[in-house]
Amino acid sequence: MNHFEYKDGELHAEGVRLSELANRIGTPFYVYSSATLERHFQVFSQALWGQEALKSPKGEAPLIAYAAKANSNLAVLQTLAEQGAGADTVSEGEIRKALMAGIPADKIVFSGVGKTDEEMAFALKTGIYQLNVESKPELERLSHVAGSLGLVAPLVIRVNPGVGAGGHAKITTGGAKDKFGVSAEEAIALYAQAASDPNLAPLGIACHIGSQISDLVPMQEAFSRMKGWVQELRAAGLSVERLDLGGGLGVPYFNQTEPPPPADFAEMVALTVGNLGLRYTFEPGRLISANAGIMISKVIHIHERESSGQKFLVVDAAMNDLMRPALYDAYHDIRPVVAPADPLKATYDVVGPICETGDTFTRGRTLPVARAGDLVAFMSAGAYGAVMANEYNSRPLIPEVLVREDKWAVIRPRPSYEEMMNREVLPEWLKPHSDKA
C-alpha cells in the first residue's frame, strides 16, 4: 500500500497535488511519501519484532538495517531513523550519511566486496555494529587495519549460500558464480582464522541472496543452509552470536508475481532459523522505499512514425534520471497525473531525450492517449532511482521532494547550469573562454 492516489481526478502524494508541485519546481522530479516510508518500515519490522523465536538471548529484537543504497537521501534516512531503523551501508559515504541522519553507529552494518583500508578504519573508529566480510584478502586487511588502530573488528562472514534468486541476472547475488561472499567451506576456515586473530571478533555469518525475490522457497532453502553452518561452526567450538539474513524481499512493481507479505516471511524465518540463541539482522532496501517514491515527468511531444504508425511518447526524463529500465529491463507502471476524461488508449514506446537506444522506459505500452505538456508518473521509483542518477548528456540531476501530509520540501534541489559547470575546472593552460553560458 502506498499514499499516491487520485483525488478529484488528480494524482496526489499524500495531501499534495502533484500538478501543483510540478508548477512550482518544474519537471522532472522525484517525490517521496513519508507515510509510505514509515508504513513499509513498520509493517516489515513489526512482523519480525513480533516473533519470539527471533529474540536474542538478551531479549533484543532483530536489527532492521535499511539498505541505504536503495535511497540514501538524508531526509529519507532520517525519516526511517526516527522509526527505529539501522542502516546497511556499502561505502564510507553511506556510513557518514547514516550517522548524519541520526542512525547510531551500533545500528550500522558495513557490507560490500571492496572496502578500502581507509573505509574500514573509518567504520572501526565510529564503533560500527559489524563489518560483513566477503573474502579472505578482506579479512586479512581488516585485521591489519584494526591492529594498527588498536581496535578489535566486529565482523560476520558473508557466505554465498549457492542459491540464486531474484528478478534478473544483474540482481541475483547468491548464485555460486556471483561475486558476493565466500563458499561455505571457505567461510568456516575464515571464521576459525578470525577467531584466533586478536584483532578480529567473528560474531556470526551473513547472506544476501538477491533482490526482488517474490518466492519464499529459495530464501528458506538459503536460510536453512545458514542454520546448518551456524551449527557446524558451533560444533567446531566456535562462538556464533549473530545471523544476518540480508534484504531482497520483493515489492510489487504492478505486473509481477505478488511478493509474499512480510508476516509470512517473518513466520518462515522464525520456523527456519528461530530459537538458535542469535541476534538477527535484516537489510531490506527496496521493500521500504521503492513504492514510497515516484518520478514525475512531462511529455515533450508525441512522434508518430509515418511508415509504421509506431508512436513514441517523448518525455523530459531519461535514463540518466531513472536507470532501472535501461540497466535491468525494469518495469515501472506509468500513469497520467491528471486522470484523462477521455477513455481512449494508445500504444506507445515511452522514451527519453538521450542519444542511446537504451534510453527507452518501455516499448509497446498501452496508456491513455497523451498530449504534449501532459504530466506522467513513473511509479515505484523510490528505490534505485535518484541514487543511480547521473548527469549524462549534461542534464542536471533532478530534484527530490519529500511530502508529509499536505506539506512538501525539496530535499535535494536541482542544480543550476552554473552550479553544474562550476564543478568542472579548467587546467591553467586553458584560458577561460567565457564566464557565462
Residue with cell 500504444: 347
Region of 29-37, 67-75, 139-147, 185-193 interacting with ligand PLP (CB under 6 A): 67-75
Nearer to ligand PLP, 32 or 408 (CB): 32
**E runs forming strands in 160-252:** 200-206, 242-244
Q: Residue 248 interacts with ligand PLP (CB under 6 A)?
A: yes
Q: Is the peptide bond before 28 cis (omega within 30 degrees of 0)?
A: yes
Q: Is 407 exposed, middle or buried (0-12, 13-18, 19+ CB in 10 A)?
A: exposed
Alpha helical stretches, state H, 283-429: 286-289, 324-328, 417-422
Contact with ligand PLP (CB under 6 A): which of 70, 159, 203, 318? 70
Q: Residue 159 interacts with ligand PLP (CB under 6 A)?
A: no
Q: Residue 69 interacts with ligand PLP (CB under 6 A)?
A: yes
Instruction: Classify 126 as helix, strand or coil.
Output: helix
Region of 133-141, 277-285, 343-351, 400-408 interacting with ligand PLP (CB under 6 A): 277-285
Contact with ligand PLP (CB under 6 A): which of 286, 324, 332, 335? 286
* Least distance in angstroms from the C-beta of 174 to ligand PLP: 10
Distance between CA atoms of 219 and 225, rounded to whole angstroms?
10
Alpha helical stretches, state H, 31-113: 34-49, 74-81, 92-100
76-105: contacts with ligand PLP (CB under 6 A): 88
Region of 21-29, 207-215, 255-263, 325-333 interacting with ligand PLP (CB under 6 A): 207-215
Nearer to ligand PLP, 72 or 199 (CB): 72
The CA-based dihedral angle spanning residues 424, 430, 435, 437, taken in that order and rounded to the nearest 10 degrees: -60
Q: What are the CA-CA distances from residue 240 to residues 49, 246, 277 (Å)? A: 21, 17, 9
Q: Residue 111 interacts with ligand PLP (CB under 6 A)?
A: yes
Which among 1, 344, 355, 430 is annotated as catalytic? Answer: 355
Nearer to ligand PLP, 27 or 211 (CB): 211
Q: Residue 72 interacts with ligand PLP (CB under 6 A)?
A: no
Q: Residue 167 interacts with ligand PLP (CB under 6 A)?
A: no
Region of 62-70, 146-154, 314-322, 408-416 interacting with ligand PLP (CB under 6 A): 62-70
- Altogether, the residues listed in the chain come to a count of 437
Nearer to ligand PLP, 287 or 389 (CB): 287
Region of 96-104, 186-194, 245-253, 272-280 interacting with ligand PLP (CB under 6 A): 245-253
Give the phi and the psi of residue 121 in degrees, each rounded to 5. -60, -45
Cell digits for 242? 549473530
Minimal CB distance to ligand PLP: which residue? 285
* Least distance in angstroms from the C-beta of 158 to ligand PLP: 8
Q: Residue 181 interacts with ligand PLP (CB under 6 A)?
A: no
Please tell me the count of residues contacting ligand PLP according to CB under 6 A.
Answer: 17
CB atoms within 10 A of CB 5: 10
Q: Residue 174 interacts with ligand PLP (CB under 6 A)?
A: no
Q: Residue 385 interacts with ligand PLP (CB under 6 A)?
A: no
Nearer to ligand PLP, 154 or 247 (CB): 247
Distance between CA atoms of 210 and 193, rounded to whole angstroms?
28
Nearer to ligand PLP, 110 or 348 (CB): 110
Q: Residue 285 interacts with ligand PLP (CB under 6 A)?
A: yes
The H or E element that residue 250 is part of is none
Cell digits for 241? 552470536
Closest CA to 148 of 125, 132, 172, 114: 125
Distance between CA atoms of 147 and 283, rounded to whole angstroms?
29
Active-site residue 355, yes or no? yes
The amino acid occupying position 17 is: R
Closest CA to 147 of 117, 167, 175: 117
Residue 146 CB contacts under 8 Å (≥ 6 apart), including other chains: 120, 124, 152, 153, 199, 200
Contact with ligand PLP (CB under 6 A): which of 208, 324, 335, 412? 208
Q: Residue 211 interacts with ligand PLP (CB under 6 A)?
A: yes
Active-site residue set: 355
Binding residues (CB under 6 A) for ligand PLP: these are 67, 69-70, 88, 111, 208, 211-212, 246-248, 283-287, 383
